[in-house]
A and B are shown apart, each in its own frame.
Chain A
Amino acid sequence: MTKNILRRDVLVGVAASAVTLAASNKTAAAKTPRTHDIVIKSFTFEPQSVTVQVGDTIRWTNEDLAPHTATASEAGWDTGELAKGQSATILVTHGMQTSYFCAFHPHMKGTIEVV
């Protein structure tokens, strides 16, 4: 019986440690800047909307044959021309413009939500 109780306590202890570790990792992850990938495919930005934090990076990769850009609607930032297979990154900053489009194909639109 004692043996069983001890065994159970050890298991609970291990589980609790795992939860603590996971929570601690989560906190660390929230503080670490992330890279958010957006794929340009079939004349769309996928995902079309991305939620980011200041300090994160957004990386666009063009999988289309046609060259594209990701360009802020009010010209605040621009990836420049991306040929097939090319990528470009933009650092998320305070007050950055959050709606963007492809300068070559203006019907292609995307949005960034900064939280």
Chain B
Amino acid sequence: MKKFLTGIAVAGMLFATQALANDPAELSDVEIAHVAYTADNLDIRYAHLALAKSKNPEIHKFAKTMIRDHEAVNEQALALLKKLGAEAKDNFLSQKLNRDGDAIIAKFSALSGAEFDRAYAENELAYHKAVNALVGEVFIPNIENPEVKALFEEGLKIFKAHEAHAEMMVKALK
């Protein structure tokens, strides 16, 4: 059973402008897979921007970890979809994530030095918090395929570790 109310609450935190017709709790497994793949790729894009712009070694280490871990998750997700003979399906949430991500990258491209580092770290913390809430409270309870669910549970452990790491980084940069 889809958790409609939970979906609205979490989506409200992340995507306040969405109409109720676009409820993350109503997405199918292949649409959820597409959102996760999009979210992973977006964080990889943020990391590449950080590697290009920051001179802080800690930011570089963190960014490289984001690339390494999110690529590992994506690789597993693609392998699982292939095994299941399924294909990820684009949807309103993936599109919204990409639009928001493009805007953030455009904004961050204009920053430099410590200002960029702080903005990147704070965004990583906020982004992982929001995505973790969505994955933990909406996606995992609603995923129907047990193998897809297990992969998301594994992914959530990784993203929670990233959230904790980002929190440490934000504190260190203050």
CB within 8 Å of B: which residues of A? 42-43, 64-67, 81, 83-84, 103-107
Contacts and interface: CB of A to CB of B under 8 A. Distances in A.
Contacts of A105: 65, 161, 165
B103 interface: no
B56 interface: no
Interface of B: 61, 64-65, 68-69, 72-73, 76, 154-155, 157-158, 161, 164-165, 168
B158 A66 contact: yes
The 5 closest A-B pairs by CB, nearest first: A66-B69, A104-B65, A43-B161, A66-B158, A65-B154
Contacts of B64: 104
A48 B141 CA distance: 32
25 contacts: A42-B157, A64-B158, A65-B72, A65-B73, A65-B76, A65-B158, A66-B72, A66-B73, A66-B158, A66-B161, A67-B68, A67-B72, A81-B68, A84-B72, A103-B61, A104-B61, A104-B64, A104-B65, A104-B68, A104-B69, A105-B65, A105-B165, A106-B165, A106-B168, A107-B164
B43 to A, nearest CB: 13
Contacts of A81: 68
A80 to B, nearest CB: 13
Contacts of A65: 72-73, 76, 154-155, 158
The listed residue with most B CB atoms (<10 A of its CB), out of A66, A83, A106, A107, is A66
Given A42-B157, A65-B154, A66-B158, A107 B72 contact: no
